[in-house]
Amino acid sequence: MQLLLKRLAKPVSQGAVAGVLCIYIALTGMMEAFGEREIVAGVLDLGKVVLLGPFVGLGLLQQQAPNRRVGWIRVLVACLAGIVATGLFILFIDAVSIRHMFTHASPALVAYMTMGQDALAAGLGLLAVAALAAGAVGFGLALIPAYLRNTIFMAALLVVGMALLSELISQVLRQILNGRPDRLLFSQGALRPAVAVIAAAAVFAWRGLAPRIRLRVQDRLPQLEPERQRQVSLAVRGAGVLVLLVLPWLVGSYLSEVLANVGLYLLMALGLNIAVGLAGLFDLGYVTNFAVGAYLMGVLTNSGPQATGEFNFWLILPVSILAAMFTGLLLALPVIRMRGDYLAIATMGFGEIIRLLALSDWLAPLIGGSQGILFIPKPSIGAFTFQTPQHLFYIILAASLVMLVVINRLDLSLTGRRWMAIRDDETVANAIGIDTTWIKTLAFTLSAASGGLAGAIFASKLGTIFPHSFSLLISMNVLCIIIVGGMGSIRGMVLGTLVLIGVPELLREFSEFRFLLYGILLMAVAIYRPGGLMPARARHYRTESAPQPAGGTPATSSSAASG
């Protein structure tokens, strides 16, 4: 008896956790809000996904069961525990009103969680059956081969993703094709069932063919002559840039705005990545550089009450970058000897100081205090003004591409090696001859440059700036991008910005739950992918002279013979 209890303790506790998760999601109002969002028309809504998702998870968790029979028993026990927890909760909020504390614990919630059945008992029974089925599906997924399981996950992700991004997809389709082609795919934002099936089938087909295609490319690419290889890589990059160039006109004004914001955050992430990702310096005050760039641009170009010179955007852009670098240098001096946590707290202080300075009455005559700076002109070349989000996108794209090239060079350079050495072991880095104080100061200074650039463009893009735009939250967001994307990984920065800045903008119907999702994502990354979504890869170096083919040209054969 005792042994049995011991064996059941784990699945029961897992089930209880799943139940608590369901209750939590319900009480925050997520379940109801998501319940109004259909994924597959008439079949599935997002609320059901979050209601039954934890039970699928319970099934998946039993993967380590010693054998199938034990596994099924554990799934059953865990799901029953979860059902009991959820069921008791439903009965409780049905009987006792706790709405004065939890506004979402309403009869509507009870109705939703009991699958819209009139009789409570029938509803609970249906929920139990659905939860058990979800657990069985989860365990079924745990039993099949990993490649197939991942394919199923991808198909599910694609269907959910397509439904959530229906607005974006419709927009693009309408730009390309005439009429309303999106009506074929969606009905009120939800995928039509046939489309969902086709999308899932497409994922299966792709996953079936992908390994073969990859093999063929891998076989053939190295056989091409170097000249040809360079052409291929150039063509791929050219196509990429071309897509980026037409993108704003394809996706329309609102999404160009989103892309512009993504670009600004990408600039900041690339900059902060020098300090945090490469040199390992935890800077929590990155917003300082953003604010310096923005305020300098604002003060020197605006034509409002704070007008000081009304200089040209293009003149002030480099000045803003230099000013941010100078601020970075100045702030680095007092904190450069601090390590780890101490550095993080000190820099966080700087971030707050700059916001309070911007708010202060003392500087108000110059930078507007809480009134901010108004009438900052948009950038212009001759008679052409970068007025719309689509126009501004190009400035941000150009800035991002330049920064990507610069950061990529630094990442592979000897200077980049020095930063990484400091990150790995500062004492030893010093003992092999690296002037760590100077190299760390350099990391802060260069890291600030990109933040200043982003700030300057931000000020001009918005036309007005206020102190509250420069809160601690910006530093945190940028740091989250780096952690989620992958510290020290440039591809990771791009992906991290798209995931953390781009996707939430597209899902603005759920904007109340944005930070909840941030938290979940951050925890999931910390647990399952500690290196980030796209971890930094090892840098491999090849010299051009090293891989000499046998019987090289006569000019080099003598050196090859001696070497």
Partner 1 sequence: MSESLLSVSGLTMQFGGLRAVDNVDFRQETGTIVSIIGPNGAGKTTLFNCISGFYEPTEGEIHLGEQRITGLPSHEIARAGIARTYQNIRLFRNMTVLENVMLGQERLLRTTWLGSIFGTRAARRETDEVVERSQAILAFVDLDSSADRQADELPYGDQRRLEIARALASEPRLMMLDEPTAGMNPSETADTERLLQRLRDERNVSLLLIEHDMRFVMGISEHIMVLNYGRTIASGTPQEIRANPEVIEAYLGSSAQD
Q: Which is nearer to partner 1, 441 or 464 (CB)?
A: 441
At 202, list the tokens.
């497409």
Q: Which is nearer to partner 1, 117 or 441 (CB)?
A: 441
Q: Quote the CA–CA distance of 521 and 519 in Å, as a whole number.
A: 5
Q: Which is nearer to partner 1, 14 or 445 (CB)?
A: 445
As measured in angstroms, the least distance from the Cβ of 485 to partner 1 is 17
Residue 358: count other Cβ atoms within 10 Å of its Cβ.
Answer: 25
| Identity at 428, one-letter amino acid code | V
Q: Which is nearer to partner 1, 188 or 427 (CB)?
A: 427
Q: Which is nearer to partner 1, 251 or 448 (CB)?
A: 448
Q: Which is nearer to partner 1, 468 or 537 (CB)?
A: 537
Q: Among candidates 18, 8, 42, which has minimal Cα distance to 195? A: 42
Distances from the Cα of 479 to the Cα of 49, 253, 287, 292, 554, angstroms: 30, 28, 11, 19, 54
Q: Which is nearer to partner 1, 18 or 434 (CB)?
A: 434
Q: Quote the CA–CA distance of 271 and 475 in Å, as a whole number.
A: 12
Residue 177's SS3 state is coil
Q: Quote the CA–CA distance of 198 and 204 in Å, as a whole number.
A: 10
Residue 500: count other Cβ atoms within 10 Å of its Cβ.
Answer: 25
As measured in angstroms, the least distance from the Cβ of 493 to partner 1 is 18
Would residue 387 be called left, alpha or beta, if left means φ above 0 and alpha means ψ between -120 and 50 degrees?
Answer: alpha
- The contacts of residue 262 (CB under 8 Å, 6+ apart) are 497, 498, 501, 502, 505
Sign of the Cα pseudo-torsion (120, 90, 44, 182, in order): positive
Q: Which is nearer to partner 1, 423 or 461 (CB)?
A: 423
Please count the CA atoms within 13 angstroms of the CA of 454 that sit on its side-chain side. 30
Q: Which is nearer to partner 1, 418 or 461 (CB)?
A: 418
As measured in angstroms, the least distance from the Cβ of 349 to partner 1 is 27
Q: Which is nearer to partner 1, 163 or 429 (CB)?
A: 429
**What are residue 304's DSSP bridge partners?**
none
Distances from the Cα of 72 to the Cα of 15, 127, 137, angstroms: 14, 19, 11
Q: Quote the CA–CA distance of 76 and 68 in Å, as a whole number.
A: 12
Q: What's the angle, vertex CA 432, arms to CA 427 and CA 437, rounded to 5? A: 55
- The contacts of residue 1 (CB under 8 Å, 6+ apart) are none
Q: Among candidates 32, 55, 36, 29, which has minimal Cα distance to 114? A: 32
Sign of the Cα pseudo-torsion (394, 396, 397, 398, in order): positive
The contact set with partner 1 (CB under 8 A) reads 406, 409-410, 413-418, 420-421, 423-425, 427-436, 442, 446, 538-546
Q: Which is nearer to partner 1, 426 or 509 (CB)?
A: 426
As measured in angstroms, the least distance from the Cβ of 417 to partner 1 is 6
